[in-house]
């Protein structure tokens, strides 16, 4: 029997998840169907319930529902509980297991695909919303030299610092307080790129060897990546690899098989993809 999966969000039409999961399914010979579901902003829970009643086996959850998904789950993996955000549901009779594969996807893309070790590196994480929360624990588990969280609304970064302090060397700063500091890896986890905006940053944070990583993906380089290049960074990556790797981790949770990711990442990064 064909098992049904879906990605749920608002908006959702831009999602590449159906394409990615169908490639995984073909490659691993899994009989699944995967669709995109638009939920009304006030209708997340009811849309999930209808999908479950229709026999759905699991879901991916995207903006803006990851925190609501955390509330709806009846059980959480450690990484989802600590992130306070869920991007994957696995349905099992009456139970909804909530997981968060975003951080694992980001770390795998940086460490394996880009071949850049996170260990002992100075990392700047821009943003303190759901996207940032999901990646802090997996980054700290790589034992960086330090992780600085910067956010336009500083108290949100402070809250994350307090929450994650027990897991590693984490600090919180205002963007302008970063003046005079430089980093090995700078990750944009804000939603600013969605509206072609950029947080106001002091110059001098990027060196030639800094990896500038935008968790957003787009056919054109994002404003953040263009800025990083102007500032001298020579290693630039958008979120395509993270998107595919988090999907692979969800697929593994559902199907128990880890799909190959290199070909689809390369295809999605082609301008015409
Ligand atoms: P997501 O789940 O995508 O992280 P979110 O929880 O709404 O979405 O968080 C959006 C993040 O992007 C926040 O850190 C937000 O900063 P504030 O907390 O100050 O709102 C950040 N952000 C969005 N647009 C931004 C902009 N133009 N400049 C700077 N930060 C921005």
Cut 0.85: pTM above it: yes
Could you give the angle at which helices 17-28 and 262-269 cross, rounded to 10 degrees?
Answer: 150
Domain containing 145 equals 103-238
Structure tokens of 81? 């509980």
Convert the pLDDT of each residue in 162-193 to its tens digit: 999 999 999 999 999 999 999 999 999 999 98
Of 66, 90, 121, 156, the catalytic one is 66
Assess whether 63 and 127 both reside in one domain. no
Q: Can you give the CATH number for the domain in which 251 is found?
A: 3.40.50.10860
How far apart are the C-alpha atoms of 154 and 159, rounded to whole Å?
A: 9
* Residues contacting ligand 1 via CB (< 6 Å): 63, 127-132, 151-153, 156, 190-192, 197, 199
Indicate the DSSP class of residue 88: E
Assess whether 201 and 255 both reside in one domain. no
Assess whether 31 and 83 both reside in one domain. yes
- 66 catalytic residue (yes or no): yes
Residue nearest to atom 21 of ligand 1 (CA): 190
Residue 272 pLDDT class (50, 70, 90 cuts) = low
Domain count for the chain: 2
pLDDT at 262: 96
């Amino acid at each position: 029997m064909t098992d049904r999966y879906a990605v749920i969000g608002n908006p959702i039409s831009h999602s590449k998840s159906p394409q990615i999961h169908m490639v995984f399914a073909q490659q691993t010979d899994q009989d699944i169907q995967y669709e995109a579901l638009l939920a009304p902003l006030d209708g997340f829970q009811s849309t999930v319930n209808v999908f479950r009643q229709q026999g759905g086996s699991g879901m991916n959850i995207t903006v803006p529902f990851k925190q609501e998904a955390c509330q709806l789950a009846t059980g959480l993996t450690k990484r989802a509980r600590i992130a306070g955000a869920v991007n994957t549901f696995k349905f099992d009779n009456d139970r909804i297991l909530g997981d968060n594969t975003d951080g694992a996807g980001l770390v795998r893309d940086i460490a394996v695909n880009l071949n850049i070790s996170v260990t002992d590196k100075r990392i700047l994480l821009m943003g303190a919303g759901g996207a940032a929360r999901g990646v802090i624990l997996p980054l700290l588990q790589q034992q960086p030299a330090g992780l600085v969280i910067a956010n336009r609304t500083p108290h949100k970064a402070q809250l994350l610092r307090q929450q994650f302090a027990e897991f590693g060397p984490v600090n919180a700063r205002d963007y302008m307080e970063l003046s005079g500091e430089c980093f090995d890896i700078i990750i944009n986890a804000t939603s600013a790129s969605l509206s072609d905006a950029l947080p106001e940053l002091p110059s001098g944070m990027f060196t030639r060897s800094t990896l500038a990583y935008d968790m957003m993906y787009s056919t054109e380089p994002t404003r953040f990546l263009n800025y990083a290049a102007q500032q001298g960074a020579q290693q630039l990556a958008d979120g395509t690899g993270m998107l595919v790797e988090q999907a692979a981790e969800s697929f593994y949770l559902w199907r128990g098989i880890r799909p190959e990711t290199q070909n689809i990442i390369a295809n999605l990064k082609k301008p015409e993809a």
